[in-house]
Amino acid sequence: MTDPTIAGALSALADLATAHGSIRVALTRWPERAPDPLRPPLERLSARLGLGAPISNAVASLRPSLGPEGDLLTAVVKLHLSTGAAVPPLLRAIAERIETRVETERRLSAGLAGVRASARLISALPFACLALLPIERSTLTDPIGMVLIATGSAVGAIGFVWMRRSVPSLSRLDDPIGDMAELVAAALRAGTPMSAALELAARGPLGHHRPHVERALRLARLGSRWHAAFALTKHPPLQELARVLQRSSGTGVPVAPALENWVLTRRASIAAEMETALKRAPVRMIPPLTLCVLPAFILLGLGPFVRDLAGIV
């Protein structure tokens, strides 16, 4: 399921929850407003609710269709049922996060596609020479010829991998901690207590940050203040978040706006770093080009020709 489809579906559910004031009614009528690719699982959800299934259990069945956002939706529904927190702002926050990510990827994808195409074309040149070897009618079955092919192929393969790694990936835009902070801010604005907001946000896709976040949650449950719990993890992104929470606590500034400003600044910085990496990609391609691709081209392209021309058999 594509991200824009999920974002559109969550926005539609938020609108239905606002219009009807009941999450059960909104979920039951969700298939009417959802994008076509999501209608089959949502129709099954509506049928389960119509048969009296508990809301939490019915929503949990959407996890395979919604991916990580399915876990968040389940957590939002459980939070609403246990604390009465407003659902629409939380759903819109999740949808807006997805839309922001998609828009940033769309803006950078054109430049990234050009860099990737250049890297693939350059790194594939030595292997194109392999296809031309039968045309050259070079003698390559003797030990010297086999050494040329083996060495050139190995060096070319190293260059191919090196060139690929020189091109930045869109995964650099991933910011699970920023996403978590944004959802916490939305939950706080919806009237959720800080502890419940962080428990909710921790259900999202955190990647390699998850062990650190879970450690902070355990420390908070043992009585640590939230900024201290995050600081004690010694994990740089969480230490940044701890400083935001500590400043907010010390100055009396509401936490939600402070978190939102921090997330905006963080995302702008990540996008700027990605743009800089794209600009530097051609420079980063020079070492694999000179150390691997060109030697492989010489071994596979020019080596057999020069060898036959010199009469070495």
Query: What is the pLDDT averaged over residues 104-114?
Result: 80
Q: Which residue is associated with the tokens 């959800």?
A: 45
Residue 309 in this model has a pLDDT that exceeds 80:
no
pLDDT at res. 75: 83
Q: HSE of 69 in the Cβ direction (CA atoms, 13 Å)?
A: 23
Residue 312 in this model has a pLDDT that exceeds 70:
no
Residue 110 in this model has a pLDDT that exceeds 50:
yes
Query: What is the pLDDT averaged over residues 13-22?
Result: 89
Sort residue 207 into left (φ over 0), alpha (ψ -120 to 50) or beta: left
Output 130 or 266, whichever has higher pLDDT.
266
70: three-class secondary structure by DSSP? helix
Percent of the chain with pLDDT over 90: 10
pTM above 0.95, yes or no: no
Structure tokens at 300: 């596979």
pLDDT digits (tens, 9 = 90+) for 233-283: 899 999 999 999 888 877 777 888 898 899 889 888 988 888 888 888 888
pLDDT digits (tens, 9 = 90+) for 37-84: 888 989 998 999 888 888 888 888 888 888 778 888 888 888 888 888
23: three-class secondary structure by DSSP? helix
pLDDT at res. 313: 47
pLDDT at res. 141: 62
Alpha carbon distance 49, 13 (integer Å): 15
Structure tokens at 85: 């927190």
In angstroms, the first-to-last Cα distance of the chain is: 58
Alpha carbon distance 271, 229 (integer Å): 28
The least confident of 121-135, 146-160, 225-239 is 121-135
Confidence class for position 139, pLDDT limits 50, 70, 90: low
